Amino acid sequence: MPTRRVLAYSLGDVANNLSFMMTSMFLMVYMTEIAGLSAGVAGAIYGITKIWAGVADLIAGQTVDRFNTRWGRLRPWLLFGSTPLAIVFVLLFSTPAGLGTTATIAWIFLLDAAFQLAYSFVNIPYGSLSAAMTQDPVDRSKLSGARSIASATTGVALSAIVSPQFQDTTADGVRLKFTITCLVLGVIAVILYLICFANTRETVPRSQGEISFKNTFRMIGKNRPLLILCAGAFFLLAAMFTMNAVGIYFARYVLGNAGWFTYLMLANTVGTVLVATMVPTITVRMGKRNGYIATALVAVLGYALIFLMPGGSLLIAIVAWFLLGVGTGGTNALMFSMQADTVDYGEWATGIRAEGGSYSILSFIRKCGQGVGGWAGGAIIGAFGYVPMAATQADDALTGIRTASGLVPAVLAVVALLVLIAYPLTAELHARVVSDLNERRTQSAVAERKGVPAERVLATSLGDGRSTLMRRADSVHPPIVTVFGQRGSGASDIAPMLAKELGVPYIGQKFTSEELATVDRSALISDNAFSRWMRSVSLNGSQDMDLAAASDISANNRIASENTDYVLGAVEDGGVILGRNGALVLGRVVGVMHVRLIAPMSKRVERVMQKTGLSVSDAEEQCEAEDRLRAEMSRALYQWNPNSDEYYDVVLNTGSMTYEQIVQIIADAYRGKYQNPPVK
């Protein structure tokens, strides 16, 4: 995918967050410091409209795919929805002076509710757009990573522009200044949405995205991991938004300078991005549940530090907000990853796969947590005697601000991590779930192709783990061999030779190394460190990416299903199949042998140089990049690592033998294993 298209897509999230983060970080303080409402009333408005935002997401999710235009299903919402969103956004932060209290409450409440609905009708299609732009899961991860980075940087920039305006809210013209600021932000947002619209394309056909809540609720009832994850998410988001709602109050009254909020946001963003980069390592070393608990403990430490720190201590506050970035960023990123696992578990336990439904439920629960947290923040500072529009606050009010931004969120975060201790979906159980699901899907696809009940394709155990029949047990099974090889291992030459030796068709990779060798060199060697980093922070737990994540895993599941059908059809009469995740799709099929080919890097580089004319360094880079990208796609589509030897019957080093010798070894091994057909 061209860099310009990735950049254009990310600008859509900049536009999103000019309004979303504005309401998340500054609406509460706007209501008390500029509109003059009490903290308790402001908190109630904030809480109710955030919960309504969850309902609005469900409405938008059920609506956006029902319309199709010459621009596609999703992009038109950016074109036609951006201007109404910007208008409502500006009006929300433009409460007229002189309104009575009741009229002010009605103005803000109704416009905030309208804003949340308008935002959902832009954000939901925007989040789903990446899956419509490309079928390549690696490219989609890059798009999501670019979106995450755009979201993080926008928050810092927005705080730098807006937070200083709250240092003195009694100055002349503050209302007008704030309205002008929002007007400029709204215009910029519309321009960025239009750039995103003009420079993105929907290239992947989409079916109507309708969610069956009946099936979703049937699945949830037997999906304990999802229920626990939702409960943890509620308390985690309540903690985050209790602090978010009053963070600017902390900067102004406890630290003494509202403008310092920018430094706090920068520290928080650095922590969030840093931990997102580390999440894959955390997952491998600690597991998702333990990683979630560990990062939640870091968040608790950050909240506790906020509650206990002395006034005016900017350096300590920066450390505290950095810890919050690590803690909340880590828990959010792991939450999305765990949510994908619960979708698999739900299908495994009930036979119902409901990406959209389960993510919608989680999204709604998260919005409820946001609403309760925002309400709690306002209610707490109000109960401690906070006085709106005052230059200073009494000691009790300062204690209330500390309590709302530190103590209460710490308690809520502790509850969230205690809930997740009961999360039962370990790495070992999920691996078994994925393995069983892949076997079921293969069996189901075979049965559908043959027009027989699923139980007819089950084989009596042969002692080698094979349990799926593609033909009747008493019929001849033609040779089937799957081959997967490192770049430069000779797999693309050996596999066709093997097919000829066994007298069966050869089925090549979706993207062959030879095809890759004919493209432009700069495009071929493009998996640079920055691209990998962008993919590593994909869906890093930003607060409004729930349904985008659902769209992503749904697209992966659809592509995997199409690939499974293709593989089964291709080897109907036997075959040697290269790549295409054949060792997993056909992993338990009777009469199949799985082969992995490897070679020393020096030999692989030598072979690639001979075929492509690349230099030593470029050939080595190509080998590493191609191997990495193929493995990354396999993990995205099938949740497996094709480089794990345990999936193969034979692993051969091609570096010290001729291709003919390798072919003979594999053919002899196949005939030795299946020497007495028919296989029963």
Mean pLDDT of all residues in 435-452: 81
Name the percent of the chain lying above pLDDT 90. 38
523 CB contacts (<8 Å, ≥6 apart)? none
- Contact by Cβ (8 Å): 250, 28: no
CA-to-CA dists, residue 106 to 111, 208, 663, angstroms: 8, 37, 78
Q: What are phi and psi for residue 672, nearest 5 degrees?
A: -70, -35
Count of helices and strands (H, E) across the chain = 24, 5
Q: Of 453 and 519, which is predicted with more confidence?
A: 453
Does residue 679 surpass a pLDDT of 50? no
Beta bridge partners of residue 653, listed in sequence order = 598
> What sign results for the dihedral spanned by CA atoms 348, 350, 356, 359?
negative
Alpha helices in 451-545 (DSSP H): 491-502, 513-518, 521-524, 529-536
Q: Measure the CA–CA gap between 52 and 46, rounded to whole angstroms.
A: 10
- Among candidate residues 84, 429, 79, 24, the one with its CA nearest the CA of residue 224: 429
Say whether pLDDT at 511 is over 70: no
Q: Over 80: is that where the pLDDT of 534 sits?
A: no
Mean pLDDT check: name the lowest of 88-97, 359-368, 417-426. 359-368
- pLDDT, tens digit (0-9, with 9 covering 90-100), for 367-411: 899 899 999 999 999 999 999 888 888 999 999 999 999 999 999
What's the confidence (pLDDT) of residue 513?
A: 56
Please write the tens of the pLDDT for every residue from 569-622: 888 888 999 988 989 888 888 888 999 999 999 999 999 888 888 889 888 888
- Give me the mean pLDDT over the 89-118 stretch: 93
Q: How far apart are CA 604 and CA 490, in angstroms?
A: 8
Amino acid identity, position 589: V
Domain extent listing, the chain: 1-200, 223-365+397-425, 439-673
Question: Residue 579: what residue type?
Answer: G
pLDDT at 680: 38
- Across the strands, what pairs with 595? 483, 650
* pLDDT surpassing 90 at residue 107: yes
The mean pLDDT value for 59-63 works out to: 80
* Rounded mean pLDDT, 652-665: 92
Which range is least confidently modeled, 117-121, 186-190, 427-431? 427-431
Name the CATH topology of 223-365+397-425: Growth Hormone; Chain: A; (1.20.1250)
Residue 420 has pLDDT above 80, yes or no: yes
Q: What is the pLDDT of residues 196-252, one digit of tens each?
A: 999 988 887 665 455 566 777 777 878 889 899 999 999 999 999 999 889 999 999
Instruction: Taking each helix axis as running N to C, give the angle between helix 137-162 and helix 174-199, from 0 to 180 degrees, rounded to the nearest 10.
Output: 160
Residue showing tokens 């010290």: 656
Among the ranges given (181-190, 253-262, 547-556), the one the predictor scored with the smallest mean pLDDT: 547-556
Q: What average pLDDT does this structure show over 180-188?
A: 93
Computed over every residue of the chain, the mean pLDDT equals: 85
pLDDT for the residue 266: 93
The answer to whether domain 1-200 and domain 439-673 are alike in fold is no
Contact call for residues 245 and 405 (beta carbons, < 8 A): no
Q: Domain 439-673: which CATH class?
A: alpha beta
pLDDT score of 255: 93
User: What pLDDT, in 10s, does the model give residues 166-182?
Assistant: 877 777 778 888 899 99
Residue 678 confidence (pLDDT)? 42
Mean pLDDT of 127-152: 80
Amino acid (1-letter code) at residue 6: V
Q: Is residue 457 pLDDT above 80, yes or no? A: no
Q: Is the peptide bond before 164 cis (omega within 30 degrees of 0)?
A: no
Residues sharing a CB contact under 8 Å with residue 304, sequence separation 6 or more, in sequence order = 406, 407, 410
Q: Which CATH number fits domain 1-200: 3.50.30.40, 3.30.930.10, 1.20.1250.20, 3.90.10.10?
A: 1.20.1250.20
Q: What's the average model confidence in pLDDT over 258-275?
A: 91
pLDDT value of residue 542: 56
